[in-house]
Amino acid sequence: CPSLKLREVASMYFTMVAAFLVILVVALQGSVPRGSDFPYKVPLDPQGLLELSWNVSYPEQAVNFQLLIRDLQFGLLFGMSDRGEFENADLAVLWSDGHNSYFGDAWSDAKGQLHMDSQQDYQLLGARRAPEGLYLLFRRAFSTCDPKDYVIEDGTVHLIYGILEKPVHSLQAINVSALHGGLQRVQLLKPNISIPQLPRDMKTMEITAPDVVIPSQETTYWCYMAELPEGFPKHHIIMYEPVVTAGNEALVHHMEVFQCAAEFDSFPHYNGPCDSKMKPDRLNYCRHVLAAWAMGAQAFYYPEEAGLAFGGPGSSRYLRLEIHYHNPLVFKGRRDSSGIRLYYTATLRPFDAGIMELGLVYTPVMAIPPGEDNFILTGYCTDKCTQLALPAAGIRIFASQLHTHLAGRKVVTVLSRDGREQQVVNADRHYSPHFQEIRMLKEVVAVFPGDELITTCTYNTEDRSRATVGGFGILEEMCVNYVHYYPQTQLELCKSAVDPGYLHRYFNLVNRFNDEEICMCPQVSVPQQFYSIPWNTFNRDVLKSLYSFAPISMHCNKSSAVRFPGEWEKQPLPSITERLRERIPRCPPAPEPHPAAPIPLNLGQLRR
Protein backbone atom coordinates (compact mmCIF):
# COMPACT_ATOMS: atom_id res chain seq x y z
CA CYS A 1 0.00 0.00 0.00
CA PRO A 2 1.22 3.54 -0.70
CA SER A 3 0.45 4.58 2.88
CA LEU A 4 2.60 1.74 4.21
CA LYS A 5 5.54 2.83 2.07
CA LEU A 6 5.12 6.35 3.37
CA ARG A 7 5.28 5.10 6.97
CA GLU A 8 8.41 3.11 6.11
CA VAL A 9 10.05 6.16 4.56
CA ALA A 10 9.10 8.29 7.56
CA SER A 11 10.43 5.65 9.93
CA MET A 12 13.72 5.47 8.06
CA TYR A 13 13.98 9.26 8.07
CA PHE A 14 13.48 9.64 11.83
CA THR A 15 15.82 6.70 12.50
CA MET A 16 18.55 8.47 10.52
CA VAL A 17 17.93 11.74 12.39
CA ALA A 18 18.13 9.92 15.74
CA ALA A 19 21.36 8.19 14.69
CA PHE A 20 22.83 11.52 13.60
CA LEU A 21 21.97 13.10 16.96
CA VAL A 22 23.60 10.19 18.82
CA ILE A 23 26.74 10.56 16.71
CA LEU A 24 26.74 14.33 17.32
CA VAL A 25 26.43 13.92 21.09
CA VAL A 26 29.25 11.35 21.12
CA ALA A 27 31.42 13.67 19.00
CA LEU A 28 30.80 16.59 21.34
CA GLN A 29 31.61 14.48 24.37
CA GLY A 30 34.75 13.24 22.68
CA SER A 31 35.94 16.83 22.08
CA VAL A 32 36.57 17.21 25.80
CA PRO A 33 39.95 15.57 26.50
CA ARG A 34 40.32 13.35 29.51
CA GLY A 35 42.82 14.09 32.24
CA SER A 36 45.09 11.29 31.04
CA ASP A 37 45.28 12.91 27.59
CA PHE A 38 47.55 15.75 28.71
CA PRO A 39 51.19 14.56 28.53
CA TYR A 40 52.82 17.93 29.28
CA LYS A 41 52.62 19.58 32.68
CA VAL A 42 54.11 22.60 34.42
CA PRO A 43 53.37 24.53 37.65
CA LEU A 44 52.48 28.14 36.88
CA ASP A 45 53.13 29.69 40.29
CA PRO A 46 55.93 29.13 42.85
CA GLN A 47 53.52 27.60 45.39
CA GLY A 48 52.13 25.06 42.93
CA LEU A 49 48.54 26.25 43.38
CA LEU A 50 48.09 26.51 39.60
CA GLU A 51 49.06 23.54 37.44
CA LEU A 52 48.85 23.68 33.65
CA SER A 53 48.66 20.53 31.51
CA TRP A 54 48.28 20.46 27.74
CA ASN A 55 48.43 18.47 24.54
CA VAL A 56 49.01 19.50 20.93
CA SER A 57 46.84 18.53 17.96
CA TYR A 58 48.80 19.19 14.79
CA PRO A 59 45.99 17.98 12.49
CA GLU A 60 43.62 20.49 14.09
CA GLN A 61 46.37 23.12 14.61
CA ALA A 62 45.24 23.62 18.19
CA VAL A 63 46.40 23.29 21.80
CA ASN A 64 44.11 21.74 24.44
CA PHE A 65 44.69 23.12 27.94
CA GLN A 66 43.76 21.74 31.35
CA LEU A 67 44.23 24.19 34.18
CA LEU A 68 44.03 22.89 37.75
CA ILE A 69 43.19 25.63 40.26
CA ARG A 70 43.86 24.16 43.70
CA ASP A 71 42.62 27.18 45.65
CA LEU A 72 39.94 28.98 43.64
CA GLN A 73 39.07 32.41 45.01
CA PHE A 74 37.14 34.73 42.68
CA GLY A 75 38.69 33.87 39.35
CA LEU A 76 41.82 33.76 37.27
CA LEU A 77 43.50 35.33 34.26
CA PHE A 78 45.55 33.04 32.03
CA GLY A 79 47.15 33.95 28.75
CA MET A 80 50.10 34.76 26.55
CA SER A 81 52.09 37.86 25.68
CA ASP A 82 55.28 38.73 23.82
CA ARG A 83 57.65 38.83 26.82
CA GLY A 84 55.37 38.00 29.76
CA GLU A 85 53.77 41.43 30.21
CA PHE A 86 50.15 41.96 31.27
CA GLU A 87 49.87 44.77 28.72
CA ASN A 88 48.93 43.84 25.14
CA ALA A 89 48.18 40.29 26.29
CA ASP A 90 45.85 37.61 24.92
CA LEU A 91 43.81 36.23 27.84
CA ALA A 92 41.29 33.64 28.95
CA VAL A 93 39.47 35.01 32.00
CA LEU A 94 37.41 33.28 34.68
CA TRP A 95 35.72 35.73 37.06
CA SER A 96 32.96 35.82 39.64
CA ASP A 97 30.83 38.45 41.33
CA GLY A 98 30.52 36.13 44.34
CA HIS A 99 27.33 34.47 43.09
CA ASN A 100 27.71 33.90 39.34
CA SER A 101 30.82 32.88 37.42
CA TYR A 102 31.80 33.65 33.81
CA PHE A 103 34.43 32.60 31.26
CA GLY A 104 35.53 34.67 28.29
CA ASP A 105 38.25 35.47 25.77
CA ALA A 106 39.73 38.91 26.43
CA TRP A 107 42.67 41.13 25.57
CA SER A 108 44.49 43.91 27.36
CA ASP A 109 45.55 47.20 25.82
CA ALA A 110 48.84 49.09 26.28
CA LYS A 111 47.59 50.41 29.65
CA GLY A 112 46.55 46.97 30.92
CA GLN A 113 42.81 47.63 30.60
CA LEU A 114 40.83 44.45 29.81
CA HIS A 115 38.39 44.19 26.89
CA MET A 116 36.10 41.36 25.84
CA ASP A 117 37.34 40.00 22.50
CA SER A 118 34.80 40.24 19.68
CA GLN A 119 36.18 36.92 18.42
CA GLN A 120 36.01 34.29 21.19
CA ASP A 121 38.94 32.00 20.35
CA TYR A 122 39.58 30.48 23.78
CA GLN A 123 36.95 27.74 23.47
CA LEU A 124 35.68 26.46 26.81
CA LEU A 125 35.45 22.64 26.77
CA GLY A 126 34.40 22.01 30.34
CA ALA A 127 34.81 22.73 34.03
CA ARG A 128 34.62 20.25 36.87
CA ARG A 129 35.33 20.22 40.55
CA ALA A 130 37.46 17.52 42.16
CA PRO A 131 38.91 17.02 45.66
CA GLU A 132 42.19 18.61 44.51
CA GLY A 133 40.52 21.70 43.02
CA LEU A 134 38.76 23.05 39.94
CA TYR A 135 39.71 21.71 36.50
CA LEU A 136 39.16 24.17 33.66
CA LEU A 137 39.46 22.76 30.13
CA PHE A 138 39.71 24.95 27.06
CA ARG A 139 41.17 25.00 23.56
CA ARG A 140 43.04 27.54 21.50
CA ALA A 141 44.04 27.42 17.81
CA PHE A 142 47.69 28.11 16.92
CA SER A 143 46.65 31.07 14.75
CA THR A 144 43.22 32.69 14.85
CA CYS A 145 43.71 35.59 12.39
CA ASP A 146 42.42 37.86 15.16
CA PRO A 147 44.78 40.88 15.44
CA LYS A 148 44.21 40.90 19.21
CA ASP A 149 45.32 37.26 19.60
CA TYR A 150 48.79 35.86 20.20
CA VAL A 151 50.11 33.51 17.49
CA ILE A 152 51.35 30.26 19.07
CA GLU A 153 54.62 29.36 17.33
CA ASP A 154 57.52 26.95 17.73
CA GLY A 155 59.86 28.02 20.50
CA THR A 156 59.29 29.75 23.81
CA VAL A 157 55.86 30.95 24.91
CA HIS A 158 55.54 33.38 27.82
CA LEU A 159 52.47 32.32 29.83
CA ILE A 160 51.03 34.79 32.33
CA TYR A 161 48.55 34.32 35.17
CA GLY A 162 46.75 36.52 37.68
CA ILE A 163 44.60 35.49 40.64
CA LEU A 164 41.40 37.38 41.48
CA GLU A 165 41.23 37.67 45.26
CA LYS A 166 38.02 39.75 45.35
CA PRO A 167 34.70 39.49 43.49
CA VAL A 168 34.32 41.67 40.39
CA HIS A 169 31.07 42.66 38.70
CA SER A 170 32.43 42.87 35.17
CA LEU A 171 35.49 42.09 33.10
CA GLN A 172 36.31 45.78 32.75
CA ALA A 173 36.37 46.16 36.55
CA ILE A 174 39.43 43.90 36.85
CA ASN A 175 42.52 45.92 37.81
CA VAL A 176 45.44 44.03 36.28
CA SER A 177 48.09 45.99 38.22
CA ALA A 178 46.55 44.91 41.55
CA LEU A 179 46.56 41.17 40.76
CA HIS A 180 48.77 38.58 42.37
CA GLY A 181 50.34 37.16 39.21
CA GLY A 182 53.43 36.04 37.40
CA LEU A 183 54.78 34.34 34.32
CA GLN A 184 56.00 30.91 33.26
CA ARG A 185 57.97 30.08 30.12
CA VAL A 186 57.30 26.85 28.23
CA GLN A 187 57.59 25.31 24.80
CA LEU A 188 53.93 24.68 24.01
CA LEU A 189 54.35 23.10 20.57
CA LYS A 190 56.21 19.94 21.47
CA PRO A 191 57.38 17.82 18.51
CA ASN A 192 55.27 14.77 17.75
CA ILE A 193 58.08 12.21 17.84
CA SER A 194 57.68 8.47 18.31
CA ILE A 195 59.63 7.06 21.24
CA PRO A 196 62.39 4.70 20.03
CA GLN A 197 62.65 1.21 21.48
CA LEU A 198 65.19 1.00 24.31
CA PRO A 199 67.75 -1.86 24.53
CA ARG A 200 67.50 -4.62 27.13
CA ASP A 201 70.98 -3.95 28.53
CA MET A 202 70.11 -0.33 29.30
CA LYS A 203 71.34 0.99 32.65
CA THR A 204 70.65 4.20 34.54
CA MET A 205 72.82 6.67 36.41
CA GLU A 206 71.49 9.55 38.48
CA ILE A 207 73.48 12.78 38.74
CA THR A 208 71.68 14.52 41.60
CA ALA A 209 72.29 17.18 44.21
CA PRO A 210 73.22 15.65 47.59
CA ASP A 211 70.27 16.84 49.71
CA VAL A 212 71.21 20.52 49.51
CA VAL A 213 69.37 23.30 51.32
CA ILE A 214 67.99 25.66 48.66
CA PRO A 215 69.26 29.17 49.53
CA SER A 216 66.57 31.61 50.68
CA GLN A 217 67.04 33.99 47.76
CA GLU A 218 65.22 34.42 44.45
CA THR A 219 67.91 33.06 42.10
CA THR A 220 70.61 30.47 42.78
CA TYR A 221 72.83 28.48 40.43
CA TRP A 222 74.06 25.43 42.35
CA CYS A 223 77.09 23.38 41.23
CA TYR A 224 77.87 19.83 42.26
CA MET A 225 80.77 17.68 41.05
CA ALA A 226 80.27 13.99 40.36
CA GLU A 227 82.51 11.39 38.75
CA LEU A 228 82.19 8.18 36.80
CA PRO A 229 83.69 4.95 38.23
CA GLU A 230 87.39 4.31 37.64
CA GLY A 231 87.96 2.59 34.30
CA PHE A 232 84.40 3.30 33.10
CA PRO A 233 84.38 2.10 29.44
CA LYS A 234 82.74 3.85 26.51
CA HIS A 235 78.95 3.82 26.55
CA HIS A 236 76.19 5.57 24.64
CA ILE A 237 73.70 7.82 26.39
CA ILE A 238 70.40 7.06 24.65
CA MET A 239 67.95 8.97 26.85
CA TYR A 240 67.76 11.22 29.89
CA GLU A 241 64.99 12.64 32.06
CA PRO A 242 64.63 14.95 35.07
CA VAL A 243 64.61 13.79 38.67
CA VAL A 244 62.83 16.50 40.66
CA THR A 245 62.35 16.25 44.42
CA ALA A 246 58.65 16.06 45.29
CA GLY A 247 57.38 19.45 46.43
CA ASN A 248 60.12 21.36 44.60
CA GLU A 249 58.55 21.23 41.13
CA ALA A 250 57.96 24.99 41.15
CA LEU A 251 61.50 25.81 42.38
CA VAL A 252 63.72 23.73 40.08
CA HIS A 253 63.82 25.93 36.98
CA HIS A 254 66.39 24.14 34.81
CA MET A 255 69.31 21.71 35.10
CA GLU A 256 72.37 20.78 33.04
CA VAL A 257 75.05 18.08 33.26
CA PHE A 258 78.46 19.03 31.85
CA GLN A 259 81.45 16.79 31.18
CA CYS A 260 84.84 18.18 32.12
CA ALA A 261 87.85 18.59 29.82
CA ALA A 262 89.86 15.41 29.35
CA GLU A 263 93.16 17.33 29.48
CA PHE A 264 93.01 17.41 33.30
CA ASP A 265 93.63 14.21 35.27
CA SER A 266 91.47 15.28 38.19
CA PHE A 267 88.96 17.90 39.31
CA PRO A 268 88.30 19.07 42.87
CA HIS A 269 85.09 18.05 44.59
CA TYR A 270 82.65 20.90 45.05
CA ASN A 271 79.09 21.35 46.27
CA GLY A 272 77.90 24.95 46.46
CA PRO A 273 76.75 28.07 44.61
CA CYS A 274 78.26 28.39 41.14
CA ASP A 275 79.11 32.05 41.71
CA SER A 276 80.83 31.48 45.05
CA LYS A 277 84.40 32.66 45.48
CA MET A 278 85.06 29.23 47.00
CA LYS A 279 84.31 27.47 43.70
CA PRO A 280 87.58 26.16 42.19
CA ASP A 281 88.51 27.83 38.91
CA ARG A 282 89.11 24.46 37.28
CA LEU A 283 85.36 23.82 37.26
CA ASN A 284 85.17 26.39 34.45
CA TYR A 285 86.66 23.68 32.20
CA CYS A 286 83.55 21.52 32.63
CA ARG A 287 81.54 22.87 29.68
CA HIS A 288 80.74 19.95 27.37
CA VAL A 289 76.95 19.50 27.65
CA LEU A 290 75.75 15.92 28.22
CA ALA A 291 72.16 16.74 29.18
CA ALA A 292 69.98 19.81 29.65
CA TRP A 293 66.44 20.10 31.00
CA ALA A 294 64.11 23.04 31.62
CA MET A 295 60.76 23.26 33.39
CA GLY A 296 57.98 21.79 31.25
CA ALA A 297 60.31 19.53 29.24
CA GLN A 298 59.94 15.78 29.20
CA ALA A 299 62.44 12.98 28.63
CA PHE A 300 64.97 13.47 25.80
CA TYR A 301 65.53 10.53 23.42
CA TYR A 302 68.37 10.02 20.96
CA PRO A 303 67.54 8.58 17.54
CA GLU A 304 67.70 4.77 17.34
CA GLU A 305 70.83 4.89 15.19
CA ALA A 306 72.89 7.22 17.45
CA GLY A 307 73.95 7.80 21.04
CA LEU A 308 76.08 10.34 22.91
CA ALA A 309 79.41 8.77 23.85
CA PHE A 310 80.79 9.09 27.36
CA GLY A 311 83.41 7.09 29.22
CA GLY A 312 86.40 5.32 27.75
CA PRO A 313 89.75 6.69 26.49
CA GLY A 314 89.88 10.42 25.81
CA SER A 315 86.81 11.08 27.94
CA SER A 316 86.89 12.73 31.38
CA ARG A 317 85.41 10.87 34.34
CA TYR A 318 84.32 14.17 35.93
CA LEU A 319 80.86 15.68 35.57
CA ARG A 320 79.38 18.94 36.80
CA LEU A 321 75.69 19.24 37.67
CA GLU A 322 74.28 22.77 37.55
CA ILE A 323 70.79 23.52 38.90
CA HIS A 324 68.99 26.83 38.61
CA TYR A 325 66.70 27.33 41.61
CA HIS A 326 64.00 30.00 41.17
CA ASN A 327 62.69 30.86 44.65
CA PRO A 328 60.78 34.17 44.36
CA LEU A 329 58.84 33.56 47.60
CA VAL A 330 62.17 33.02 49.40
CA PHE A 331 61.26 29.71 51.05
CA LYS A 332 63.67 28.78 53.83
CA GLY A 333 65.03 25.36 54.73
CA ARG A 334 63.73 23.58 51.61
CA ARG A 335 65.95 20.56 50.88
CA ASP A 336 66.55 19.26 47.37
CA SER A 337 68.03 16.20 45.67
CA SER A 338 67.02 16.97 42.10
CA GLY A 339 69.11 16.17 39.05
CA ILE A 340 69.12 14.21 35.82
CA ARG A 341 68.83 10.47 35.22
CA LEU A 342 70.98 9.20 32.33
CA TYR A 343 69.99 6.05 30.43
CA TYR A 344 72.97 4.42 28.77
CA THR A 345 74.03 1.20 27.06
CA ALA A 346 77.28 -0.68 26.49
CA THR A 347 75.89 -1.90 23.15
CA LEU A 348 77.09 0.96 21.01
CA ARG A 349 74.78 2.23 18.31
CA PRO A 350 75.96 2.64 14.70
CA PHE A 351 76.83 6.33 15.15
CA ASP A 352 78.31 8.55 17.83
CA ALA A 353 76.26 11.72 18.19
CA GLY A 354 78.17 14.98 18.08
CA ILE A 355 77.58 18.57 19.20
CA MET A 356 78.59 21.44 16.92
CA GLU A 357 78.65 25.16 17.75
CA LEU A 358 77.14 27.51 15.17
CA GLY A 359 76.86 31.30 15.28
CA LEU A 360 79.31 33.96 16.41
CA VAL A 361 82.79 33.62 17.90
CA TYR A 362 83.06 34.87 21.50
CA THR A 363 84.85 38.09 20.63
CA PRO A 364 84.32 41.82 21.39
CA VAL A 365 84.49 42.76 17.69
CA MET A 366 80.77 41.93 17.51
CA ALA A 367 78.99 44.61 19.52
CA ILE A 368 75.51 46.06 20.10
CA PRO A 369 75.07 49.81 20.68
CA PRO A 370 73.12 50.89 23.78
CA GLY A 371 69.46 51.84 23.54
CA GLU A 372 68.64 49.39 20.72
CA ASP A 373 65.27 47.64 20.65
CA ASN A 374 65.96 45.32 17.72
CA PHE A 375 69.67 44.99 16.82
CA ILE A 376 70.69 42.02 14.65
CA LEU A 377 73.97 40.11 14.53
CA THR A 378 74.60 37.13 12.25
CA GLY A 379 77.10 34.28 12.43
CA TYR A 380 78.00 32.04 9.51
CA CYS A 381 79.05 28.44 8.96
CA THR A 382 80.17 28.79 5.36
CA ASP A 383 80.04 26.41 2.40
CA LYS A 384 83.85 26.35 2.35
CA CYS A 385 83.96 24.91 5.88
CA THR A 386 81.22 22.29 5.41
CA GLN A 387 82.73 21.27 2.05
CA LEU A 388 86.02 20.53 3.79
CA ALA A 389 84.82 19.08 7.10
CA LEU A 390 81.60 17.13 6.47
CA PRO A 391 81.44 13.58 5.04
CA ALA A 392 80.06 13.09 1.53
CA ALA A 393 76.86 11.58 2.95
CA GLY A 394 76.39 14.63 5.17
CA ILE A 395 75.17 14.81 8.75
CA ARG A 396 71.71 14.71 10.36
CA ILE A 397 70.73 17.37 12.91
CA PHE A 398 68.07 16.08 15.32
CA ALA A 399 68.19 18.54 18.24
CA SER A 400 69.26 22.07 19.03
CA GLN A 401 69.97 24.35 21.97
CA LEU A 402 69.91 28.10 21.34
CA HIS A 403 71.97 30.39 23.55
CA THR A 404 72.51 34.09 24.18
CA HIS A 405 73.08 36.16 27.29
CA LEU A 406 70.68 38.68 28.85
CA ALA A 407 70.07 40.95 25.84
CA GLY A 408 68.99 38.12 23.48
CA ARG A 409 65.39 38.28 22.21
CA LYS A 410 65.28 36.09 19.10
CA VAL A 411 67.48 33.33 17.58
CA VAL A 412 67.03 31.68 14.18
CA THR A 413 69.25 29.22 12.28
CA VAL A 414 68.56 28.64 8.58
CA LEU A 415 70.05 26.05 6.20
CA SER A 416 71.10 27.48 2.82
CA ARG A 417 72.20 25.58 -0.29
CA ASP A 418 73.57 27.17 -3.48
CA GLY A 419 72.47 30.59 -2.27
CA ARG A 420 68.87 29.53 -1.59
CA GLU A 421 67.44 29.14 1.87
CA GLN A 422 66.13 25.59 2.25
CA GLN A 423 64.60 25.31 5.72
CA VAL A 424 64.67 26.62 9.25
CA VAL A 425 66.81 24.42 11.50
CA ASN A 426 65.54 25.98 14.72
CA ALA A 427 63.83 29.27 15.52
CA ASP A 428 62.71 30.94 18.72
CA ARG A 429 61.08 34.30 18.02
CA HIS A 430 60.21 34.83 21.69
CA TYR A 431 63.54 33.60 23.00
CA SER A 432 64.42 34.13 26.65
CA PRO A 433 67.91 33.67 28.12
CA HIS A 434 66.15 32.44 31.26
CA PHE A 435 64.68 29.42 29.48
CA GLN A 436 67.24 27.33 27.61
CA GLU A 437 66.84 23.64 26.85
CA ILE A 438 67.93 21.09 24.28
CA ARG A 439 64.93 20.73 21.98
CA MET A 440 64.25 17.81 19.70
CA LEU A 441 63.47 19.01 16.19
CA LYS A 442 60.16 18.18 14.52
CA GLU A 443 62.07 16.73 11.61
CA VAL A 444 65.71 15.74 11.11
CA VAL A 445 67.68 18.28 9.05
CA ALA A 446 70.16 16.86 6.53
CA VAL A 447 73.28 18.99 5.98
CA PHE A 448 75.66 18.19 3.10
CA PRO A 449 79.13 19.39 2.10
CA GLY A 450 78.82 22.87 0.58
CA ASP A 451 75.74 23.83 2.62
CA GLU A 452 75.66 26.95 4.78
CA LEU A 453 74.20 27.32 8.28
CA ILE A 454 73.34 30.93 9.12
CA THR A 455 72.45 31.91 12.70
CA THR A 456 70.86 35.30 13.39
CA CYS A 457 70.35 36.78 16.85
CA THR A 458 68.26 39.80 17.77
CA TYR A 459 69.10 41.88 20.85
CA ASN A 460 67.49 44.54 23.02
CA THR A 461 69.76 46.98 24.90
CA GLU A 462 67.23 49.70 25.72
CA ASP A 463 68.17 49.45 29.40
CA ARG A 464 71.93 49.91 28.80
CA SER A 465 74.00 53.08 28.63
CA ARG A 466 77.10 51.72 26.90
CA ALA A 467 77.90 49.24 24.14
CA THR A 468 77.50 45.50 24.77
CA VAL A 469 80.41 43.54 23.31
CA GLY A 470 80.71 39.83 22.62
CA GLY A 471 82.36 37.67 25.26
CA PHE A 472 81.92 35.23 28.12
CA GLY A 473 80.64 37.65 30.79
CA ILE A 474 76.94 37.68 31.59
CA LEU A 475 76.72 41.38 30.59
CA GLU A 476 78.59 40.58 27.38
CA GLU A 477 76.81 38.74 24.57
CA MET A 478 76.78 35.48 22.67
CA CYS A 479 74.92 34.12 19.63
CA VAL A 480 75.13 30.33 19.55
CA ASN A 481 73.20 27.31 18.35
CA TYR A 482 74.51 24.02 19.77
CA VAL A 483 73.25 21.51 17.21
CA HIS A 484 73.12 17.80 18.07
CA TYR A 485 73.76 15.59 15.08
CA TYR A 486 75.17 12.32 13.78
CA PRO A 487 77.53 10.88 12.67
CA GLN A 488 80.09 12.76 14.74
CA THR A 489 82.78 14.51 12.73
CA GLN A 490 85.96 16.40 13.59
CA LEU A 491 84.12 19.69 13.05
CA GLU A 492 83.16 21.00 16.49
CA LEU A 493 82.89 24.74 15.88
CA CYS A 494 81.74 26.54 12.72
CA LYS A 495 81.40 30.24 13.56
CA SER A 496 82.41 33.66 12.34
CA ALA A 497 83.14 37.26 13.34
CA VAL A 498 83.66 40.48 11.41
CA ASP A 499 87.17 40.96 10.02
CA PRO A 500 89.20 42.96 12.63
CA GLY A 501 90.81 45.12 9.94
CA TYR A 502 87.42 46.37 8.72
CA LEU A 503 86.37 47.09 12.30
CA HIS A 504 89.52 49.19 12.72
CA ARG A 505 88.48 51.17 9.63
CA TYR A 506 85.11 51.74 11.30
CA PHE A 507 86.76 53.19 14.39
CA ASN A 508 88.86 55.50 12.17
CA LEU A 509 85.75 56.65 10.29
CA VAL A 510 83.85 57.34 13.51
CA ASN A 511 86.83 59.27 14.85
CA ARG A 512 86.99 61.40 11.71
CA PHE A 513 83.29 62.31 11.65
CA ASN A 514 82.83 63.04 15.35
CA ASP A 515 84.04 65.99 17.37
CA GLU A 516 85.14 63.77 20.27
CA GLU A 517 88.50 62.07 19.98
CA ILE A 518 88.44 58.25 20.13
CA CYS A 519 91.84 56.81 20.88
CA MET A 520 93.01 54.40 18.21
CA CYS A 521 96.15 53.54 20.16
CA PRO A 522 97.23 49.88 19.88
CA GLN A 523 97.13 49.51 23.66
CA VAL A 524 93.43 50.43 23.80
CA SER A 525 91.23 47.35 23.72
CA VAL A 526 88.31 46.85 21.33
CA PRO A 527 85.76 47.06 24.18
CA GLN A 528 87.24 50.37 25.34
CA GLN A 529 87.00 51.76 21.82
CA PHE A 530 83.34 50.71 21.62
CA TYR A 531 82.67 52.21 25.06
CA SER A 532 84.09 55.60 23.98
CA ILE A 533 81.89 55.95 20.86
CA PRO A 534 79.16 58.63 21.01
CA TRP A 535 76.16 56.60 19.85
CA ASN A 536 74.41 58.96 17.48
CA THR A 537 72.33 57.78 14.51
CA PHE A 538 75.27 57.94 12.11
CA ASN A 539 77.55 55.75 14.23
CA ARG A 540 74.79 53.20 14.77
CA ASP A 541 73.84 52.97 11.11
CA VAL A 542 77.43 52.64 9.93
CA LEU A 543 78.05 49.78 12.39
CA LYS A 544 74.92 47.97 11.16
CA SER A 545 76.12 48.46 7.59
CA LEU A 546 79.60 47.19 8.45
CA TYR A 547 78.22 43.94 9.85
CA SER A 548 76.05 43.46 6.75
CA PHE A 549 78.80 43.73 4.10
CA ALA A 550 82.31 43.41 5.66
CA PRO A 551 84.31 40.20 5.15
CA ILE A 552 84.42 37.73 8.02
CA SER A 553 87.00 35.74 9.91
CA MET A 554 85.86 32.08 9.80
CA HIS A 555 86.53 29.64 12.62
CA CYS A 556 86.27 26.17 11.09
CA ASN A 557 87.62 24.32 14.12
CA LYS A 558 88.34 20.76 15.14
CA SER A 559 87.66 19.54 18.69
CA SER A 560 91.31 20.38 19.48
CA ALA A 561 90.40 24.07 18.83
CA VAL A 562 92.72 24.01 15.78
CA ARG A 563 91.30 25.22 12.48
CA PHE A 564 91.04 22.96 9.49
CA PRO A 565 93.76 23.73 6.91
CA GLY A 566 92.89 26.60 4.60
CA GLU A 567 92.53 30.37 4.26
CA TRP A 568 89.90 31.59 6.72
CA GLU A 569 90.53 35.32 7.05
CA LYS A 570 88.72 38.03 5.02
CA GLN A 571 86.19 35.56 3.70
CA PRO A 572 83.22 36.97 1.75
CA LEU A 573 79.76 36.84 3.30
CA PRO A 574 77.55 34.09 1.86
CA SER A 575 75.31 35.40 -0.90
CA ILE A 576 71.62 34.58 -0.41
CA THR A 577 69.61 34.96 -3.62
CA GLU A 578 66.35 33.36 -2.45
CA ARG A 579 64.77 33.68 0.99
CA LEU A 580 62.28 31.37 2.61
CA ARG A 581 58.74 32.65 2.36
CA GLU A 582 57.01 33.34 5.62
CA ARG A 583 54.00 31.14 6.18
CA ILE A 584 50.78 33.08 6.02
CA PRO A 585 48.08 31.52 8.21
CA ARG A 586 44.85 30.53 6.53
CA CYS A 587 42.06 32.64 7.90
CA PRO A 588 38.50 31.28 8.00
CA PRO A 589 35.74 33.53 6.69
CA ALA A 590 35.06 36.32 9.16
CA PRO A 591 31.91 35.59 11.19
CA GLU A 592 29.02 37.99 11.19
CA PRO A 593 29.67 40.77 13.72
CA HIS A 594 27.85 40.23 16.99
CA PRO A 595 28.31 41.43 20.57
CA ALA A 596 30.81 39.28 22.44
CA ALA A 597 29.40 37.70 25.58
CA PRO A 598 31.03 35.62 28.32
CA ILE A 599 29.92 32.06 29.02
CA PRO A 600 28.11 31.62 32.38
CA LEU A 601 29.48 28.80 34.55
CA ASN A 602 27.72 27.05 37.41
CA LEU A 603 30.53 26.84 39.96
CA GLY A 604 28.38 27.58 42.98
CA GLN A 605 29.02 30.46 45.35
CA LEU A 606 32.74 31.13 45.61
CA ARG A 607 34.40 31.85 48.92
CA ARG A 608 34.46 35.28 50.50
Catalytic residues: 221, 403
CA nearest to 328, candidates 539, 475, 183:
183
Maximum Cα interatomic distance, the chain, rounded to a whole number of Å = 112
- Contacts of 387 by beta carbon, 8 Å cutoff, 6+ apart: 449, 450
- 54 burial level (CB within 10 Å; 0-12, 13-18, 19+): buried
Q: How far is CA 545 from the centre of its chain?
A: 30
Residue 120 near residue 148 (C-beta atoms within 8 A): no
The DSSP result for 437-483, as a single string, is --EEEEEEEEE-TT-EEEEEEEE--TT-SS-EEBSSSTTSB--EEEE
What's the angle, vertex CA 436, arms to CA 207 and CA 465, rounded to 5?
130
Backbone angles phi, psi at 509, to 5 degrees: -65, -45
The DSSP result for 242-299, as a single string, is EE--TT-TTTEEEEEEEEEPTTSS-----EEETT-TTS-GGGGGEEEEEEEEETT---
CA nearest to 342, candidates 273, 289, 395:
289
Backbone angles phi, psi at 162, to 5 degrees: -145, 135
CA nearest to 89, candidates 107, 115, 63, 70:
107
CA nearest to 399, candidates 604, 541, 239:
239
Residue 99 near residue 107 (C-beta atoms within 8 A): no
Residue 245 near residue 336 (C-beta atoms within 8 A): yes
520-533 residues labelled b (16+ CB within 10 A) or e (exposed): eeeeeebbebbbbb
Residue 86 near residue 111 (C-beta atoms within 8 A): no
Q: How far apart are CA 141 and CA 122, in angstroms?
A: 8
- 91 burial level (CB within 10 Å; 0-12, 13-18, 19+): buried
- Beta bridge partners, 137, equal 66, 126
394 backbone φψ class: left, alpha, beta (φ>0; ψ -120 to 50)? left
Backbone angles phi, psi at 118, to 5 degrees: -70, -20
